Chains A and B, each alone.
Chain A
Amino acid sequence: MLKLENVSFAYAINNKIFDDINIEIDTQEIVAIAGRNGTGKTTLTRLIMGLLHPQAGRIKLDEMVISDKPPYIIAKNIGYVFQNPDHQLFASTVYEEAAYAPKQLGMTEEERDKYVKQALINTGLWDKKDFMPQTLSLGDKQRLSIASALAANPRILILDEPTSGQDCRERTVLLRLMRKLNNNGLGIILVTHDMDILAEHAHKVVVIADKQIAYAGTPRELFSDEKKTIELGLELPETVRISKEMEIELSLTPQELYEKITAGRKKNA
Chain B
Amino acid sequence: MAKKYHQGSDLRWITITTLLLAIGVILRLISPNIGGISLNWNIVMYVTAILLCRPTLKQGLGIGIVSGIIATMTSKAALPYANLLSDPAAAWSCALLVKTRIFNIKISRICIEPMIVIFITTFISGGIFVSLTKIVLALPMSLYLYAMLPAVLLVAALGALAGQLFYFPAARIFNSDGSEKNFLLKNINLNISKGEFFVITGVNGSGKSTLLLSLAGARPSYFAGFKDSQLFIDDIDIIKSDSAVLNKKIGVVMADYEAQLVTETINDEIAFSLENAGLSPAEIIKKRAEVLQKVGLKNLGNRQITSLSGGQKQRLVLAAILAMDTEVLVLDEPVAAVDPEGAREIYDLLYKLNKHDNKTIIVVEHDLKYVMDMISHMAVLENGQLMFTGEKQDCLKYMYTNKVYAEVIPLRWKIRWEMEQGLC
Question: Is there a chain A Cβ closer than 8 Å to B367's Cβ?
Answer: yes
Q: For residues 158 through 216 of chain A, which have their beta carbon under 8 Å from a beta carbon of chain B?
A: 164-172, 193-196
Verify A261–B339 contact, CB threshold 8 A: no
Q: Which residues of B contact A239 (CB under 8 A)?
A: 411
Can you name the residue of chain A whose Cβ is closest to the Cβ of B407? Answer: A168
State in angstroms the CA–CA spacing of A169 and B367 once bound together.
10
Q: Which residues of B contact A164 (CB under 8 A)?
A: 336-337
A193-B339, A235-B340, A258-B424 given; A166·B204 CB < 8 A: yes
Residues 229 to 269 of chain A near chain B (Cβ within 8 Å): 233, 235, 238-239, 242, 254, 257-258, 261-262
A195–B369 alpha-carbon span in the complex (Å): 12
Known: A193-B339, A261-B424, A262-B424. A169 touches B415 (CB 8 A): no
Within 8 A of A (CB), among B237-288: none
Q: Are A167 and B412 in contact (CB under 8 A)?
A: no
B203 contacts A by Cβ under 8 Å: yes
Any A CB within 8 A of the CB of B410? yes
The B299-354 residues at the A interface (CB cut-off 8 A) are 309, 336-337, 339-341
Q: How far is the CA of A262 from the CA of B309 in the complex (A)?
A: 44
Cα-based distance from A239 to B424 in the complex (angstroms): 16
Q: Which residues of B contact A138 (CB under 8 A)?
A: 204
B406 → chain A closest CB, angstroms: 9
Q: Contacts A37-B339, A193-B339, A262-B424 known; A170 to B203 CB distance under 8 Å?
A: yes
Interface residue? A139 (CB, 8 A) = yes
Cβ of A131 to closest chain B Cβ, rounded Å: 15
Contacts of B424 in A (CB 8 A): 258, 261-262
Is there an interface contact between A172 and B309, defined as CB atoms closer than 8 Å? no
CB of B205 within 8 A of chain A? yes
Annotate B386-416 by CB proximity to A: 1 below 8 A, 0 otherwise: 0000000000000000000101101110010
- CB-based contact B412/A169 at 8 Å: no
Knowing A258-B424, A261-B415, the reply to whether A165 touches B336 (Cβ < 8 A) is yes
Assess the A169–B405 pair: CB atoms within 8 A. Answer: yes
Q: Which residue from chain A places its CB closest to the CB of B310 in the assembled complex?
A: A37
Query: Taking A37-B309, A37-B339, A235-B340 as contacts, is the C-beta distance between A167 and B204 under 8 angstroms?
Result: yes
Answer whether residue A92 sits at the interface, using C-beta atoms and an 8 A cutoff. Answer: no
Residues in A with CB closer than 8 Å to B309 are 37
Q: A238 CA to B339 CA in the complex, in Å?
A: 16
The interface on chain A, measured as residues whose beta carbon lies within 8 A of the other chain's beta carbons, has a size of: 28
Q: Smallest Cβ distance from A208 to chain B, in angstroms?
A: 14
Give the distance in Å from the alpha carbon of A172 to the alpha carbon of B211 in the complex: 25
Q: Are B407 and A169 in contact (CB under 8 A)?
A: yes
The minimal Cβ–Cβ distance linking B204 to chain A, given in whole angstroms, is 5
Is B377 on the interface with A (CB-CB < 8 A)? no
CB closest chain-B residue, reference A163? B367
The answer, yes or no, to whether B366 is at the interface (CB within 8 Å) is: yes
CB <8 Å contact, B415 and A242:
yes
State whether A168 and B205 are in contact (beta carbons under 8 Å apart), knowing that A37-B339, A242-B415, A257-B415 are contacts in the complex.
no
CA distance A261 to B424 in the complex (A): 8
Do B411 and A238 have beta carbons less than 8 Å apart? Answer: yes
Residues of A within 8 Å of B366, CB to CB, are 166-168
Any B CB within 8 A of the CB of A137? yes
Q: Using Cβ atoms and an 8 Å threshold, which residues of chain B touch A195?
A: 340
In whole angstroms, what is the CA distance A37 to B312 when docked?
13
Find chain A residues with CB under 8 A from B341 CB.
36-37, 233
> Which residues of the partner chain B approach A262 to less than 8 Å between Cβ atoms?
424
Chain B residues, Cβ within 8 Å of A169: 203, 405, 407
Chain B 350-367 interface 0/1 with A at a Cβ cutoff of 8 Å (1 = within)? 000000000000000011
The distance in angstroms between the C-alpha atoms of A254 and B367, with both chains bound, is 17
Residues of B contacting A166 in the complex (Cβ-Cβ under 8 angstroms) = 204, 366
CA distance A261 to B366 in the complex (A): 28
Cα–Cα, bound, A233→B341 (Å) = 9
A195 vs B343: C-alpha distance when bound (angstroms): 14
Residue contacts A-B, CB under 8 angstroms, 28 given: A36-B339, A36-B341, A37-B309, A37-B339, A37-B341, A139-B204, A164-B336, A164-B337, A165-B336, A166-B204, A167-B367, A168-B367, A169-B405, A170-B203, A170-B204, A171-B407, A172-B407, A193-B340, A233-B341, A238-B410, A238-B411, A238-B412, A239-B411, A242-B411, A254-B411, A257-B411, A258-B424, A261-B419
> Which residues in B have some Cβ–Cβ distance to A below 8 Å?
202-205, 309, 336-337, 339-341, 366-367, 369, 405, 407-408, 410-412, 415, 419, 424
Q: A166-B204, A167-B203 are in contact. List 8 more A-B contacts (CB 8 A).
A: A138-B204, A164-B336, A168-B203, A169-B405, A170-B203, A238-B369, A258-B415, A261-B424
Query: Closest 10 A-B residue pairs measured CB to CB?
Result: A167-B366, A168-B407, A168-B408, A167-B203, A167-B204, A37-B339, A169-B407, A169-B203, A193-B339, A238-B411
